[in-house]
Homo-oligomer: A and B are copies of this chain.
Amino acid sequence: MAKKVFNFGAGPAMLPEPVMQKIQEEWLDYRGMGVSVIEVSHRAKEFVAILEEAQALFRELAGLPENYRILFIHGGARMQFSAIPLNLAGRRPGKRCLYFETGNFAKLAAKDAKELCNVETAASSAGTNYDRIPDYDPAIFTDDVSYVHITGNNTIYGTRWNQFPETGEVPLIADMTSEILSRQIDYSKFGVIYAGMQKNLGPSGMAMVIIREDLLGFASAQTPILLNYTQADKDNSLTNTTNTFAIYVTKLVLEWQKAQGGVAALERRNEEKSARLYRVIDGSDFYRGVAHSAHRSIMNVSFNLAAGEELEAKFLKEAGAAGLYALKGHRNVGGIRASIYNPMPMAGVESLAEFMEEFEKKNG
């Protein structure tokens, strides 16, 4: 019997319990084949069916318009930090690429792109330690810009874009790793959306890339073949042996999301979950939220203890003993971070909220 634990890890994150049980049940014998799903060829009809079901489920859940393609690419979101400029900088001869600097991963995306295009900072909230989404001047989105890059939800600081920038004819590219399918969005506003799987979709090691069809065909000749979106689209993500396990798990997670009522229902639940924690933080001087209240994430709730690091260490130790796992904040900000992606049930959030209230009573 497994110990009852709620896992608040930022990623690889918890997966839905019914999904984990299903994987265990069919582990040694996938649908009567006598072999495991991870022992089946990526070109076998059984696996191709899994891949195509995952694509169809995502399209349905997201309400994705028909002129967008769904690709699976090796390497997580970080690999996309290179793939995006390799595939899209060449849209315009000047290779001007605008990056919004809203946190650690936004900064890394710009850093990884530096040798592959002309990176410019659209706006930055570094001055307030990334506690918000910065203001910007829409006049910067001129026609000679290859693309504009944002990070939809900033995992470490617990901020998110409430209003996505209106970039007009310039393609908007979004890293949605930590919030994919957690809220309803209008996909037609985006050129590319990508997401590492290990938070809301599945296990680590792979990314989903959603690309508007007219943005295919701009890859530089030096693009590694497995990072070339046009090639991936042509081969339906099977240019080489793909990460079959990741796609299989993702398909199960998408089925689970559909059974939960889809994105609208998940979004409502995510609002409730995060609101429960923010109420504890706002109702006390003992806890201090990292993010400005107008820019708060519903996926990652980051906070500190006013009393400082020593009491934070005690908080983490006692939370761990109470079955509240992986609450330590990222090394860049310290403190506490509760990652509450789609699979986290309200019961887990309630346990944490009650623990926080109790801890404050004893130590406040």
Contact = CB atoms under 8 A, between A and B. Distances in A.
Interface of A: 2-5, 7, 9-15, 20-21, 23-24, 27-29, 32-36, 38-42, 44, 74-79, 81-83, 86, 112, 115-116, 196, 198, 203-206, 221-222, 224-227, 239-246, 249, 323, 325-326
Given A2-B34, A222-B222, A227-B224, A40 B23 contact: no
Contact of A226 (B36, B79, B325): B79
Contact of A245 (B9, B35, B204, B326): B204
A325 B222 contact: no
A225 B81 contact: yes
Contacts of A325: 33-35
Contacts of A246: 205, 243, 245
Given A5-B34, A82-B224, A222-B222, 10 more contacts: A2-B28, A12-B42, A23-B27, A24-B24, A34-B323, A78-B240, A81-B225, A205-B243, A205-B245, A245-B245
A293 to B, nearest CB: 28
A75 B226 CA distance: 8
Question: Most chain-B CB neighbours within 10 Å: which of A240, A325, A326?
Answer: A240
A351 to B, nearest CB: 13
A2 to B, nearest CB: 4
A34 B5 CA distance: 6
Nearest to A74: B75
Number of chain copies forming the complex: 2
B27 A27 contact: yes
Given A224-B79, A241-B76, A38 B21 contact: no
A203 B38 contact: yes
Contacts of A3: 29, 32-34
Contacts of A326: 41, 44
Given A75-B74, A245-B205, A39 B14 contact: yes
A243 B20 CA distance: 17
Nearest to A81: B225
Contacts of A82: 224-227
A39 B15 contact: yes
B9 A36 contact: no
B243 A243 contact: yes
Nearest to A177: B241
B204 A243 contact: yes
B41 A12 contact: yes
B225 A7 contact: no
Question: Most chain-B CB neighbours within 10 Å: which of A2, A32, A82, A241?
Answer: A241
A86 B5 contact: no
Given A76-B74, A243-B243, A39 B205 contact: no
A39 B76 contact: no
